[in-house]
Amino acid sequence: MSERLRARVEARAGELVALCRALVQIPSENPPGRDYLPVCELVGERLRKRGFEVHYLRAEGALADSDVFPRWNMVARFESGRPGPTVHFNSHVDVVAPGERWSFDPYGAELVDGRIYGRGTCDMKGGLASSVAAVEALLDEGLVRTGAVEVSATADEESGGYAGVAWLAERGWFDPNRVDHVVIPEPFNRDLVCLGHRGVWWAEIETLGHIAHGSMPFQGDCAVRHMAAVIEAFERELWPLLAARRTAVPVIPEGARHATCNLAAIHGGLPERLDGLPTPLVPDRCRLTVDRRYLTEESREAVAQEVENLLERLRADREGFDYRLRELMHVPPTANVETAPTPRAFARAILEVEGKEARFVASPGTYDQKHVHHLGGVTDCVAYGPGHLHLAHQPDEYVEVRDLANAAAVMALATHDLLGGAS
C-alpha cells in the first residue's frame, strides 16, 4: 500500500509545485496582514471539490483584525463516515516582509534548477502545499476510510497567532473531542520532527530619574545612567548564569540549548528635535525591553524573580536607583513526547521515504503549537515540513521541489498510519 501511495504523491508532484507557486504569488504579508482571504480560498475551494466541508472564519474582534485587514482563517474537514481519529494539518498563511537583497522577485515564485524562490516558499506555503497534496493522494487511493482529515490555513502566526490558531482554539476548533493529532508543516527539512519549543518571557524594565537642565546634570538624576547599571549587572551576573544552564530537550541549534536573553530595545530621554540636535535635559525615564527565552527546566516565576532580585540589589546598592518591572508577554515551553502517536508515525514514514532515522528536535522560538497545546488541549502535535529553517525570513528564500514531494509522501504515509492504516 505504501508503495502505491508514494507513487500517487510522486505523480502529483507537478500539481504540488503549481499549488506552491500560486500560494507564494499571493503576497499575504504580515504586517499589515493583507490577502489572507485569497490564500484561504485557494486552498478551501480546491478541497471543497474533493468533498471537504469548508469553513471561512474571520477572527472578528481579535487583535489586529480590521475591515481593511480582516483576519481570515479556513478550516476544511473530510469525514470518512466511520469512527476514528482526526488528523489535522495546520499552516499559517502570513509571511514576513521580503526586505532587501533579493535576486528574484519575492512574489514571482520562479522555478529555477529544482527550486521555487519567493517569500513564504519555505515558511510555510511549501508546507501547506505538501499537506494538501498528501491528503489528496490519500483520497485518490481511497485511504481515508476511518476518522477524518482536516486542513487549516490560519492568520498571524508571525505576530503571535492571536487572530489565527489561538482564536480558533478558544472556539473549540482544536478541542480533543474533534482533533486527535496535529501536524504543523513548518520547515524542518527532511529528517527532523519538531516536538515543541522553549518558553518566552518578555518584560519591560523602566529606570526612573529626575529631570534637570542638561548643563547642570548634578541637579537631576539620569535614568539612562541607571539603565547602564542594569545592563552592566546583566553582563556581570545574568549572562554567566544563563550560559551555565542547559536543557535536556534536544533544541536546535546547539546554542539555544542554553537559556538566553536578548536586549531587544532601549528608549531613553526625550526625542531629538527636527534639526537632529538633542534636547538639553537630563532624562528622567529609560525603558529596556528584555526577550528572555527559557528552558523546560526553568519556570516563569523563577525567570521573573531572577531579574527582580538583580534590580532589587541595585536598589539597595546604588544611590537614587528606582525601577518598574512589567511583564509584556509569556508563553510556556511546549513539548510533545517522542513516544506519542504522531512523532512515532512521522519517524516511521521518514525512515521509509528518506531511508534514514528521524531526529527529534525542539525549536528555539515559539510557533502555533503553543495554542494547539495550551488553549486547545491537544498535546499530540509535531512540526514537520519541507524547507530549511535557516532560510525562513531571509532574502532568496526557496524550497526544493524534491523536498516538497518527499514531505508530502511522509505526510501521506504518517496520516494513513494515524488513521489506523486500514488498506
Binding positions for Zn ion, rule: CB under 5 A: 123-124, 186
Find the shortest distance in angstroms from Cβ 381 to Zn ion. Answer: 15
CA–CA gap between residue 382 and residue 183 (Å, rounded): 5
Strand duo 192-197 + 334-335: pairing: antiparallel
Strands (E) in 176-335, as ranges, are: 181-184, 192-197, 199-208, 212-213, 260-268, 281-282, 285-294, 323-331, 334-335
Diameter over CA atoms, the chain: 84
Residue 33 near residue 64, CB atoms below 8 Å: yes
Q: Which is nearest to 360 in space by CA: 348, 345, 347?
A: 347
Can 180 be counted among the known catalytic residues?
no
- Return the number of the residue (6 or 371) whose C-beta is nearest Zn ion: 371
- Return the number of the residue (192 or 303) whose C-beta is nearest Zn ion: 192
Region of residue 147 (phi > 0: left; psi between -120 and 50: alpha; otherwise: beta): left
Find the shortest distance in angstroms from Cβ 416 to Zn ion. Answer: 26
Find the shortest distance in angstroms from Cβ 129 to Zn ion. Answer: 14
CA–CA gap between residue 308 and residue 310 (Å, rounded): 5
- Return the number of the residue (123 or 306) whose C-beta is nearest Zn ion: 123
Can 41 be counted among the known catalytic residues?
no
CA–CA gap between residue 204 and residue 347 (Å, rounded): 41
- Return the number of the residue (298 or 397) whose C-beta is nearest Zn ion: 397
Residue 188 near residue 385, CB atoms below 8 Å: yes
Q: Which is nearest to 378 in space by CA: 409, 418, 417, 348?
A: 418
The residue sitting closest to Zn ion, measured at its beta carbon, is 123
CA–CA gap between residue 321 and residue 83 (Å, rounded): 65
Q: Could you say which of 65, 94, 298, 417 is catalytic? A: 94
Find the shortest distance in angstroms from Cβ 344 to Zn ion. Answer: 24
Find the shortest distance in angstroms from Cβ 197 to Zn ion. Answer: 12
- Return the number of the residue (184 or 212) whose C-beta is nearest Zn ion: 184
Q: Could you say which of 65, 136, 157, 221 is catalytic? A: 157
Residues catalogued as catalytic: 94, 157
